[in-house]
Amino acid sequence: MSKTLGIILIGDVDQTIGKFLQQNLLNCFDIFQKVLIFEKTEKIPKEAYNKVRGQYLSTPFLNLVKKRAEKEKYFKAIGVTEVDLYVPSLNFVFGVAISRACMISIHRLNPKFWGVGGLTNQNLFLERTLKESIHELGHTLGLSHCENYCIMRFSNTIMDTDDKPKEFCSNCSKKLLKIHK
């Protein structure tokens, strides 16, 4: 199997986000031979919406990404959506991962969500999107949360995301090398 990373846009995600991730994720991971954007934007799973919370359960999104990864024979796949995701035990999630599939929500990564708008924050938005993508892909590659100054540090708030680096710490880098020799 080719070590292809698939990017799957779900909902009304701007294509430039997919292209940005395609250009940057290949440089972040030696393990992927190529990064492809799935040509068809997927529809948001209707069954995921929780009217009480006004959010979307992440599980149907992950299942969609996992099925697409299997069908397209992607080594790993990441889904990207603009809707607000949650898991039952948390108020929200920036992202989630299972086996070969992961999912990020750009909803709370956008500075506009926090009341800070304007084009000057596009770089911050893209940096957050890349960080959460790297983090969730790290999980699909076998890494767990890390306490070091590392991309694998858990983000409970947007400040946590802003404060962590885009890189793996030396411990996580060694683990990745060991797992994927």
* Beta strands 49-50 and 4-10, pairing class: unpaired
Q: Which of 133, 154, 152, 167 is nearest to 9 (CA)?
A: 133
DSSP assignment of 99-125: TTEEEEE-TTTSGGGGT--SGGGHHHH
b/e 81-94 (16+ beta carbons within 10 angstroms → b): bbbbbbeeeeeebb
Q: Which residue has the tokens 């990017």?
A: 7
DSSP 48: G
DSSP 34: E
Q: How far apart are CA 152 and CA 131, in angstroms?
A: 9
Active site includes 82?
A: no
- Catalytic entry in 47, 127, 132, 136: 136
> Catalytic site residues?
136
